[in-house]
Chain A
Amino acid sequence: MARAPLTIPPEVRSRLKRLSLVPRRMAGTRGFGMHASRSKGAGLEFAQYRAYEPGDEPRRIDWKLFSRSDKFFVREAEEESPLAVWILIDASGSMAQADRARPDWSRLDAAKLLALCIADVALMQGDRFGWMVLHENGLRLAEPHRGRGQFERLQLELARLEGTGTFPAAATLAPLWERVGARDLVIFLSDCFDESGIALIERLAKAGREVLAIQLLTVEERDFPFEGGFRFREQESGAELVSDGAALRETFLARFAAAGKALDERLDAAGIRHAAVVLDEPVDRPLHVLFGRGTVPT
């Protein structure tokens, strides 16, 4: 299916400049300096030449350049960023849900745009980023890399992503444990309705990964604007409930709020930073909540 690659709307993109992906626990063991700075030093990728200073290792002097210019220059390479950002996208059937008022803006669409925003921020910071699409049929993942190419691959990947099926079983998720590094930043984009999804990020957090959860909610789940007879159908189990919308509202809103509170407490207990976004809010709102410096778009 040939679709135009997903792009970030300009007003969202302009707000992304205020963001920085900062892990709560700064990793000081790899390399030196702040991960976010373009620290230069030993590495594979060439960054620049600089004049020799006393104390530099003699083996880092570029002797060929010395033979041409009769001056000592030291080759500096870009320091590998210690931070890898993993974007976990839930692509189960419930993510395909959209509001009746805006049927072309599903939870998954919002998740895709959020993933692009995260990738864009990581790209601007020079951090490596990779992704995993959690789908019933299996895991589609991309190892963390830096650069525009990775971003474009993410765009292509997201363009053909559709939300179907149930949340993947634990066996399907096995490759995830091999790939996610010990101190990587994991951002989980989901509706957080699946128990197995919550269990997964809890285990990740316990295993020392820094996990952030962004819950995507539809307007109908927040407001329950149903009047009259409806046949409610859950996408993943196929369960159905026929009832009157107005009669359901009060209990649903109370129960849903209680469930949200329970989820909050559970994630807090696991040390998972989390934010929620409803589909009629700016899609980058949770990023500003989690990574922003003050102002949160409304």
Chain B
Amino acid sequence: MTPLLLAPLGLAALAALIVPLLIHLHRRTEEVPVDFAALRWLDILTRPRSRIRFEEWLLLALRLLLVALLGLLLARPALPGLDGDAPRVLVAPGIDPAAATAAAGPEADLRWIAPGFPALEAATPPARVTVSSLIRQFDAELPAGAPLTILVPPVLEGVDAEPLHLTRTVTWRIVGRGTPGPGPAPFAAPTLAVRHAPGGEAPLRYLRAAAAAWSGSSHITAGAGRDLPPRDQVLVWLVPGPVPAAVTDWVSEGGTALLGEAAEVAMPAATAALWRDARGDTLVEGAPLGAGQVMRFTRPLRPAAMPELLAPDFAATLRDLVTPPAPPPARVAAAAFAPVAGADPYPLPPRDLAPWLTLLIALTFLAERWLATRQHRFAA
């Protein structure tokens, strides 16, 4: 618990201590003029006695303290990380608080695995959180040697693919029988809204086939108009010629658009290939545009130009292109996810004392001002 200085060179500012000393010493050398007729009996050889004398000791002490504290502030004093070695208990979401209290004992320090690690009774059970990341954070911020117990339900949600590798041996207790939360929402097939030029219905059959392959019901609408679909549908713009500003605006506000090869549009600078054929040639390129996504076929949608239209995986590839990526698996059997000890401990960040020091400086400054501006100081 020894306080340490994060910037010891700041102590050089303590040289400024000389300033208040000089201020208080200066008055001493003032000579009081006095008429003295018997001057000739004074000893000329007597030098003024160079006795160091300070005036107003209290004020001087306060000023010295003020300067010293400022110098100390520049040196950034800190206390090494603390928080004692008391045992702590983490409770994963999905556990009944009463069951957790019963399992850990009434006086245990119970905290939810949630950002900020709120106390069990102070917060409601958190919603979906990144459990393994939070466990790693809590372990890293805990002083070495503090025992840690983690209460988890039989099925743990919100984990990532990396096994838990912590700095200490953790008591991993499975509490309750577990009521797995609702599973991820079933996959919703995207709906294509195709806009084509009059007479340009030829590519539609491939798109219809792909949409039909996603789900039984029809997830495609087609028309020769220029009206824009709701933003949760995927706009397939096959009209040749310049793309209207309405379409780019629609995309910028969060829509997803797939442009035909004949559409003339300035693609964003970040445009990259999203789909390549077997030879490595780009089939679809695209980039984010505003809040949305704009993509473009580089070839006409004809099997002669783009044989992949007839390939068996066209439907799946098209679906992956126009839908956001599925969430990674985040559910694990808790018994299989017990953490392993042995990671290198992290150095605890020292606690900066600057706020307290600043407060102390402000108080000292006020006291100094009060002392220095008292009335009777000038009355003398």
Contacts and interface: CB of A to CB of B under 8 A. Distances in A.
Interface of A: 93-94, 96-97, 100, 191, 193, 220-221, 226, 228-236, 239, 241-244, 246-248, 251-252, 255-256, 259
B43 interface: yes
A236 B37 CA distance: 8
Given A241-B44, A248-B43, A231 B33 contact: yes
B31 interface: yes
B35 interface: yes
A229 B41 CA distance: 17
B205 interface: no
A251 B37 CA distance: 16
A191 B37 contact: yes
B98 interface: no
Interface of B: 28-44, 46-49, 51
Contacts of A243: 42-43, 46-48
Contact of B39 (A226, A241, A244, A259): A241
A229 B25 CA distance: 13
Contacts of A248: 42-43, 46
Closest 4 CB pairs of A and B: A94-B37, A244-B49, A234-B39, A231-B31
Contact of A229 (B35, B43, B48): B48
B235 to A, nearest CB: 94
B32 A251 contact: no
A230 B47 contact: no
A279 B102 CA distance: 97
A97 B38 CA distance: 10
Contacts of A244: 46-49, 51
Contacts, number: 86
B39 A239 contact: yes
A242 B31 contact: yes
A220 B43 CA distance: 16
Contacts of B29: 229
Contacts of B40: 193, 234
Contacts of B39: 232-234, 239, 241
Contacts of B51: 244
Which of B44, B49, B51 has the most chain A CB atoms inside 10 A of its CB? B49
Contacts of A239: 39
9 contacts: A96-B35, A97-B36, A226-B34, A234-B39, A243-B47, A244-B48, A247-B46, A256-B38, A259-B41
Nearest to A92: B37
A232 B34 CA distance: 5
Given A96-B35, A244-B51, A255-B43, 17 more contacts: A97-B35, A193-B37, A193-B40, A226-B34, A228-B28, A229-B32, A231-B33, A232-B42, A233-B35, A233-B36, A234-B37, A236-B37, A244-B46, A247-B46, A247-B47, A251-B46, A255-B41
Contacts of A251: 42-43, 46
A214 B266 CA distance: 118
A230 B34 contact: yes
Nearest to A95: B37
B34 A229 contact: no
A255 B43 CA distance: 9
Given A243-B48, A251-B46, A252-B43, A229 B38 contact: no
A231 B34 contact: yes
A186 to B, nearest CB: 23
A226 B47 CA distance: 15
Nearest to B48: A244
Nearest to B50: A244
Which of B28, B35, B37 has the most chain A CB atoms inside 10 A of its CB? B37
A257 B216 CA distance: 131
A195 to B, nearest CB: 10
Contacts of A97: 35-37
Nearest to A232: B36
Contacts of A193: 37-38, 40
B62 to A, nearest CB: 24
Nearest to A242: B31
A78 B32 CA distance: 59
Which of A96, A230, A246, A256 has the most chain B CB atoms inside 10 A of its CB? A230
A235 B35 CA distance: 6
Which of B34, B42, B46 has the most chain A CB atoms inside 10 A of its CB? B42
A248 B38 CA distance: 13
A259 B28 CA distance: 32
Given A241-B42, A251-B43, A234 B36 contact: yes
